[in-house]
A and B are shown apart, each in its own frame.
Chain A
């Protein structure tokens, strides 16, 4: 297993970029964010809290590079500072509380859209020019172009408020005690349906488009003709020969899309009052809780980088040509 060094360099640069943005922004601000945060703390502003915020946001008499080293030391020990809104909780605690829900939503939505989008794309490419293709393919492009806010609001209005099919808030029925039992899981599943359906259209559109174009070029390959020549049926050629190979670009696209998916999850969680990272980010941004907003960016950057790395590794396993070409 070899991941090209160049890719690792890119991830390192991206991570550094996020850190540097986080470090410099508050120090560049014209009005000091420190004062507004101390004001935000109100009566809870103990000397220790004020000290912690000042150290983090550069309102201390110290050369800038020493501040940066301190900042990096903090990051290395997962110390992302204290939350202003939820003081005395730390940012790590606040984020840990909600990260699981977002991960659950995003992973479920990715799996669901992957199944739907890839099948639609494969069939559209197989029947290129047919009625199915002529409708589904432009429709997918439209799905990519409609902001998630609109889809979320429409879903909420149609299925949550008008038809009352699904609950309109929270991750599970608040009257239930979280535990490992069927009622609780059922409730979690039931509450996740609308958010997942909101997150999916964008991804389905992207997967369908990528799968279709990659499948079209794969269908021209010799091994597909060979499969035909062997007398294999349509389904065998389509799934075992063409679709499996056409999946590769879809995987690359998946990793790159994750950033946009996180963006969508932020909006979705706000609309459906779902207790994930997005809702936390929203309450943090309303309260100008800068440490939490910064921690959020770092966490989401790390998640995206992790996913990209994973795809790089998988790519090498699934497509041995990649490794050969790179060594």
Chain B
């Protein structure tokens, strides 16, 4: 077993997060088995509370919430992960180019990065989405990716800048390695932990943004996703009439994805920056600290 994997398995939080995400992905993949039939089909009366037949109840339109939840996991997770990947790829590429090439390239890219960073994202997203009209998952992906790469780019640029002056990179340049080899073989592997953090953070952000857009009605209402489920439930005033299951199912789904990703992210952060670590290794430090405090207090 590699040391990275062992380090990962020792972190209970990371394992819990991983299990949550894996279980949800499995649910999405196995949708045809777990909930056969069309989720958009009318199967019962309007807003029925959970029963044995419809375990999550029914929507205002008499659709099975469980079936919608299971099928809705597919586009929700797929768009979230794909968008997260796109954001990370864009951010890493721009950060790497800016950091490695420096000079005027860097000046322009860094200015762009910082400028896009301070523009409020969600209002910009809403503007783009409303001009695009009702948009499919691909358009949502593109819009989110194009507005949210700067965080990753900034982190990557800073790290690349510090790596560029390290001896192994200087040596590679002196040996005459071409720029692409230095970037991809010498620098990129050292950015892997950073890219991991960036990826998980971007997926979290993508899911938040996607849910917000779909909740506001910019998604395709015929496409069953967790976000459009929320939108439809809101439109049928599910909360006011007390149909908590209608809003609860997609809301809990999204919250659990957030929980799983957050647990993973927390661990990645701790692995990449050991200073932030909490947990068994630190209890000794804490005990010493307490002891010292007590002694200080006891001393007159």
Please give me the residue from chain A that is nearest to B150 by CB atom.
A256
CA–CA, A216 and B277, complex, Å: 10
B162 within 8 Å of A by Cβ?
no
Indicate if the CB atoms of A161 and B120 lie closer than 8 Å: no
Cross-chain contact A147 with B285 (CB below 8 angstroms): no
- The distance from the CB of B238 to the nearest CB of chain A, in whole angstroms, is 9
Residue pair B122, A145 in contact (C-beta under 8 Å): no
* C-alpha gap A274/B130 in the complex (Å): 21
- Asked if A290 is an interface residue, CB under 8 A from chain B, the answer is yes
A54 at the interface (CB under 8 A from B): no
**Contacts A33-B131, A256-B118, A259-B121: A285 and B126 contacting too (C-beta < 8 A)?**
yes
* B131 x A10 contact (CB < 8 A): no
Q: Does A267 contact B (CB under 8 A)?
A: yes
Give Cα A296 to B127, complex, Å: 9
Partner of B116, one of A17, A282, A296, A297: A17
Residue of B nearest to A31 (CB): B133
Q: Does B297 touch A at the CB level, under 8 Å?
A: yes
* CB of B36 within 8 Å of the partner chain: no
A141 touches B212 (CB 8 A): no
Check: B85 CB closer than 8 A to any chain A CB: no
Q: List 13 A-B contacts (CB under 8 A).
A: A13-B115, A14-B115, A26-B131, A128-B286, A141-B262, A259-B121, A260-B120, A263-B120, A267-B212, A267-B216, A293-B127, A300-B120, A304-B119
In the complex, which residues of chain A have a beta carbon less than 8 angstroms from the beta carbon of B204? 144-145
Q: Are B130 and A147 in contact (CB under 8 A)?
A: no
- Known pairs A147-B207, A153-B230 / 4 extra A-B pairs, C-beta < 8 Å: A10-B114, A128-B285, A213-B275, A288-B130
Interface residues of B in 253-267 (CB under 8 A from A): 254-255, 258-259, 261-263, 265-266
**Cα(A141)–Cα(B234), bound, Å:** 27
**Distance from B75 Cβ to chain A, minimum over Cβ atoms (Å):** 16
- The answer to whether B230 touches A129, judged by C-beta atoms less than 8 angstroms apart, is no
Q: Is the CB of B262 within 8 A of A138?
A: yes
Encode contact with B along A104-133: 1 for CB under 8 Å, 0 otherwise: 000000000000000000000001111001
Interface residues of B in 67-117 (CB under 8 A from A): 111-112, 114-117
* Any A CB within 8 A of the CB of B124: yes
Chain B residue contacts of A231, Cβ below 8 A: 296, 299
Contact of B51 with A by CB under 8 A = no
Which among B121, B123, B208, B285 is the interface contact of A281 at CB below 8 angstroms? B123
Is A148 interfacial (CB-CB < 8 Å)? yes
Segment with Cβ contacts to A, from B39-47, B52-60, B174-182, B239-247: B239-247
Given A25-B128, A262-B122, also A127-B240 (CB < 8 A):
no
Q: How far is the CA of A10 from the CA of B111 in the complex (A)?
A: 6
A18 nearest CB across to chain B (Å): 6
Contact present for B119 and A129 (CB under 8 Å): no
Considering only CB atoms and an 8 Å cut-off, how many residues of chain A contact the other chain?
71
Best-surrounded residue of B121, B131, B259, B285 (most CB of chain A within 10 A): B131
Check B25 for interface membership: any CB of A closer than 8 A.
Answer: no
Most buried by A among B129, B258, B297: B258
Which of chain B's residues has its CB closest to A22's CB?
A: B127
Would you call A313 an interface residue if the criterion is a C-beta within 8 Å of the partner chain's C-beta atoms?
no
Residues of B within 8 A of A (CB): 13, 111-112, 114-131, 204, 207-208, 211-212, 215-218, 230, 234, 239-240, 242, 244, 247-248, 251, 254-255, 258-259, 261-263, 265-266, 273, 275-276, 278-279, 281-283, 285-286, 293, 296-297, 299
Task: Decide if the interface of chain B is mainly helix, strand, loop or mixed.
Answer: helix
- Say yes or no: A129 contacts B131, CB within 8 Å: no
| Residue A301 CB within 8 A of the other chain | yes
Cα separation A286 to B13 with both chains bound (whole Å): 42
A142 to B259, CA, bound (A): 5
Q: Which residues of B contact A213 (CB under 8 A)?
A: 273, 275-276
In the complex, whether A75 has a CB less than 8 A from a CB of chain B is: no
Contacts of A303 in B (CB 8 A): 120
A197 CB to closest chain B CB (Å) equals 16
Q: Which residue of B lies closest to A205 (CB)?
A: B262
How near does chain B come to A186, taking the closest CB pair, in angstroms? 25
Point out the residues of chain A lying under 8 angstroms from B262, CB to CB.
Answer: 138, 141-142, 144-145
Report the Cα distance A146→B208, complex, angstroms: 7
C-alpha spacing A12/B136, complex, angstroms: 33
A301 and B285 contact, CB distance less than 8 A = no
Chain A residue numbers with a CB within 8 Å of B293 are 234
A-B pairs, top 9 by smallest CB distance, nearest first, are A263-B122, A129-B282, A259-B120, A145-B258, A14-B115, A145-B262, A13-B115, A147-B208, A141-B262
Does the CB pair A156–B258 fall under 8 Å? no
Whether, in the assembled complex, A85 has its beta carbon less than 8 Å from a beta carbon of chain B, the answer is no
Q: Whose C-beta in chain A lies nearest to the C-beta of B292?
A: A228
**Chain A's nearest CB lies how many Å from the CB of B126?**
6
CB pair A297 B215 closer than 8 Å:
no
Q: Which residues of B contact A10 (CB under 8 A)?
A: 111, 114-115, 118
B129 nearest in chain A by CB position: A285
Q: Are B259 and A262 in contact (CB under 8 A)?
A: no
Q: Across the interface, which residues of A come within 8 angstroms of B259, CB to CB? A: 142, 145-146
User: Residue on A with the closest CB to B111?
Assistant: A13
Chain A residue at smallest Cβ distance from B248: A157
Quick one: which of B124, B126, B278 contacts A137, CB cutoff 8 A?
A: B278
Cβ 8 A contact of A129, one of B207, B273, B285, B297: B285
Given A13-B112, A14-B115, A157-B244, A150–B255 Cβ distance below 8 Å?
yes
Given A14, A233, A266, A271, which contacts B123 in the complex, CB threshold below 8 Å? A266
CA distance A306 to B273 in the complex (A): 33
A129-B286, A149-B211 known; A305 and B118 CB under 8 Å?
A: yes
A170 within 8 A of B: no
Known contacts: A17-B119, A231-B299. The answer to whether A25 contacts B131 by CB under 8 A is: yes
